[in-house]
Amino acid sequence: MNETQEALRKPVTVGGYFKNIWDSLFTTIAGLKITGGYFFQKPITVQYPDERLPIPERYRGIHYLEQDKCIECYACARACPVDCIDMEAVRHGKELEWVKFTIDYQKCMFCELCVYPCPKQCIHQGQEFAFVVEDRNELKHDLLSYQGMSRDARIRKKEAEAKKAAKEAAKKAKAEAAAKAKAEEEKNAPGEESSEDA
């Protein structure tokens, strides 16, 4: 027999009877006061998609990548304790032609360990925390903002190529000129050499 059952077995005294009535009335009124106070308070919840609570500056949300700074050094992928980062790029001299830079959010635990080792400080964790996908494979989130090379990189590459071509052309021209000069020299004084040889 527990406490409640014992209390129920005990006969109610006359004083206890009226005390019960008094208690029930006044505890109810006290409760009504409390809930009434809350009723006139401003709600503390926010209308979520329309208004949001401020997110701390160092919040570890979904990653974002400054793709132009990235040098595909794999420092972040090596640092990742769960190996969720995967990247692929083709090198054209100094420029990178990006194929992919994915983070598998099925594995990612938002530990921020990928952010620190980056030599160019180009991978960050942002403020955004909510994203919805319809297929599990889509959780492999691609951080690239563009595929292939950036416009700047293309221009730089073209310039570099042009420079190289010009250099080579200049070299070639120089070489040709040298060869020509030599040939002309030979032509102009064929006898001298031979005479020298002789």
Partner 1 sequence: MWYPLSTVATQAAITSTPEGNAVLRWLHGIAPESVPAWTLPLVTASISVAFVVTMIALIAMVAVWLERKISGHIQCRYGPMYAGVWHGWAQTIADGVKLLQKEDMIPLGADRPLFMLAPAIVLGAIFGAFVAMPLAPDMFFADINMGVFFILGMSSLTTIGVVMSGWASNSKWSLYGAMREAAQVVAYEIPLGLALMVPLIVAGTFNLREASALQSDWFGMGWLLFKNPFVFPAAILFFIAALAETKRAPFDLPEAESELVAGFLTEYSGIRWSFFFMEEYAAMYLMSLVAAVFFFGGFESPSTHMAGEWFGGGSFVHNLVAALTLIVKSMMGVIFMMWIRWTLPRVRIDQVMTMGYKYLTPLSLICVLGAAVWEALIA
Judged by beta carbon, residue 44 or residue 53, the one nearer partner 1 is: 44
39 binds partner 1 (CB under 8 A): yes
Question: Tokens 């040939």 correspond to what residue?
Answer: 183
Q: Exposed e or buried b for every residue in 135-154, given b needs 16+ CB within 10 A?
A: eeeebbbebbeeeebbeebe
Per-residue binding letters, 47-86, with partner 1 (x by CB under 8 A): x---------------------------------------
The H-assigned helical ranges of 14-150 are 14-39, 75-79
16 binds partner 1 (CB under 8 A): no
21 binds partner 1 (CB under 8 A): yes
**CB of 76 within 8 A of CB of 108?**
no
Q: Does residue 110 sit in helix, strand or coil?
A: coil
Choose one: 28-36, 76-84, 150-158, 190-198; the region binding partner 1 (CB under 8 A): 28-36
- Please report, as ranges, the residues that interact with partner 1 according to CB under 8 A: 8, 12, 17, 20-21, 25, 28, 31-32, 34-36, 38-45, 47
